[in-house]
Amino acid sequence: MTDRQMLKRIGQSVKTARLNANLTQECVAELAGVHWQTVSYIENGKYLCSVITFFKISQALGVSPNRLFDGLPEPDKAWQDKIKLSLARKRKPSG
């Protein structure tokens, strides 16, 4: 999944949570202390917001930030292990 696809998926989760809470973008923005366009850009996958902004939006929506990541792929364990192994450095014994 590309970065763009991840942003779109997170945006869909934010929009779904907002609609489930029966809130407008303007209301979420006011509760989170951001501009309504920021909420719009996030929902449309056009804006990579800060962790703080993301947390404030999740609070405004009354959901866990973790819930807004639903639908994203799990880490590729085999790929991570391969990278870790290829970049592992041997330590010299101390003393």
- pLDDT tens per residue, range 39-50: 999 999 999 999
- pLDDT tens per residue, range 53-78: 999 999 999 999 999 999 888 888 98
Buried b / exposed e along 57-89 (16+ C-beta atoms within 10 A): bbebbebeeeebeeeeeeeeeeeeeeeeeeeee
- pLDDT tens per residue, range 21-40: 999 999 999 999 999 999 99
* Domain extents in the chain: 3-87
Whole-number pLDDT of residue 94: 64
According to DSSP H, which parts of the chain are helical? 3-20, 25-32, 36-43, 51-61, 77-87
In Å, what is the CA distance from 27 to each residue of 18, 22, 24, 40, 95?
10, 10, 5, 12, 63
Range 3-87: architecture per CATH: Orthogonal Bundle (1.10)
